[in-house]
Amino acid sequence: MFQPVKPSQWLIIAVALLGMVAVPLVTRNPYLLHVLILSMIFGIFASAWNLVAGFGGMKTFGHHAFFGIGAYVSALLSIKLGLSPWLTIWLGALAATATGLFIGLPILRIRSMAHVAIVTLGFAEIVRIVISNLQTITRGELGLWGIRPFEGFTLPLLGKVVFSPADKVPYYYLILLLLIASTAVIMLLMRSRTGLSIIAMRDAEDAAESLGVNLTRQKLLVFGISAFLVGISGAFYAHYISILTPTAAVGIDLMILVIAMALVGGLSTFSGPLIGALILTGIVELLRDLDQYRLLVYGAIIILIVMFLPKGLTTLGPVFRRRFASRSSS
């Protein structure tokens, strides 16, 4: 399924990483950094959903529940108990994982993907309604505010690092580290023997089971890892934005956006969800001045990409290489 990474691909990865690291060194424009931070948050979310839906073949439409659980658990623990966000983001991710395993155990035994999609979507709606109605704890749609930022620290040679709304650079580098770590986890998992069994499970469940693949265990493993990564992105989002509402953190619009990112970039690829997150987040920001026409143009762009590039924008690279090779040979 996955060929060894070629030296040219390693070079592309290295250039992309160096480019991302160098952005704050070139410009500290807060708006640009804010857009890039959001794109990386959603990039982690989209990659984690792609792990389940793209690689695992489980069409779940309720992953935004784990985003909201990670966000609210981390935020509430930091507000109510005074715990450090450096600790609560992991507790929020663990809470999302536990919830994912709890709901996944009965759901993932269902073979019908349509039923899995509907049940997971219903579960996410239950989570949103519960958060909205626990107003004494979450403040509902009024918004949970007063969320603590990450505590600063001192780095040798670099000095004091302070997380504040006025300086986006520390948030930028922190989410970049989380993005690199989450992508590495997904790549290592899918390139292992476990990854091969996951692909086999996606392509032919009955055949995989006949060869000794424990379908329930593999599905729970993928679902749990995915929920953890989504929970991490949600927890970071809470401490970065500093205010949460059920609609923003657990709304169906968020899930639709993430699915669109994975589809536009390229499902079942490592880089596709990241590319889709970067492009669609940028498009959303560029179209803000269109007001009520924004979603119309946004939807048209997605439809055109899906129609003419059904396997996502990642297919453009091989197409250009083939055309360049054919022109060179002629």
> Which residues share a beta bridge with 164?
167
Q: Give dist(CA 283, CA 125) in Å, integer.
A: 27
Note the pLDDT tens digit of each residue in 197-236.
999 888 888 788 887 888 888 889 999 999 999 999 999 9
Q: What is the mean pLDDT of residues 117-122?
A: 91
How far apart CA 190 and CA 314 sit, in angstroms, is: 18
Q: Which has the closest alpha carbon to 304: 263, 256, 269?
A: 263
Average pLDDT over residues 123-133: 95
Give the predicted TM-score (pTM) of the model. 0.92
Q: What is the pLDDT of residues 240-254, one digit of tens each?
A: 999 999 999 999 989
In this prediction, residue 323 carries a pLDDT of 61
What is the pLDDT at residue 113? 78
Tokens in use for 94?
A: 């663990």
Confidence check: pLDDT of 164 > 60 = yes
Cα 114 to Cα 319: distance, rounded to the nearest angstrom: 33
Q: For residue 317, is pLDDT > 80? A: no
Residue pair 237/34 in contact (Cβ under 8 Å)? The answer is: no
Q: Over 60: is that where the pLDDT of 114 sits?
A: yes
What pLDDT does residue 324 have?
58
Q: What percent of the chain has pLDDT over 90?
A: 58
pLDDT at 182 over 80: yes
pLDDT-based confidence at 143, cuts 50/70/90?
very high
The token pair that represents 63 in the structure block: 């992953």
Q: What is the pLDDT of residue 2?
A: 63
The answer to whether residue 289 scores a pLDDT higher than 70 is yes
Question: Worst-scoring range by mean pLDDT, 15-19, 27-31, 291-295?
Answer: 291-295
Task: List the domains of the chain with CATH numbers.
Answer: 7-329 (1.10.3470)
Digit-coded pLDDT (tens) for 77-111? 999 999 999 999 999 999 999 999 998 888 877 77
